[in-house]
Chain A
């Protein structure tokens, strides 16, 4: 594939991704806005893939190595931290209405 063809293809999926991004979150309720911000934060952790390519495929001496290594460290922190924080937030949204009823009635008896 020539560079021009590839570029047109890349721009195409870029534009489609813009619309998809708008579309897919337009239905997210306010109460999930914080996890949403955190979840998208984890997704852009995909930058670690770019960092790995720089570190893994760059054979251009110590400069590339150091930059690539730093990028991998930062990118990995983004990925792992992002997903773990989001998971911790969403863990709290578990379905719990039935359990809660029991909880409340027990408290009621106690009081």
Chain B
């Protein structure tokens, strides 16, 4: 992490007042939304599991996670938010939980 990014991350952590970085999950089928306060070492998958718990929604077969712009983040579930930004170039902290769909 360079100094500029480190400073930005610290500011974001401080701003939440909850000791973590605010990450929003929208469950698009139920239209429920929750904000989780992420710790530095928490992976996206761990945050996703927390979101289900807070949303009181079961994790269904075929559920997927994407950014609010539609980018699939399933290959990156083992990454922390910092790693997601640095290694995958994904900067958003808003995610959508989507159910299985078909077509194409």
A and B pair up: no
Q: Which residues of chain B have a CB within 8 Å of any CB of chain A? A: none
Q: Which residues of chain A have a CB within 8 Å of any CB of chain B? A: none
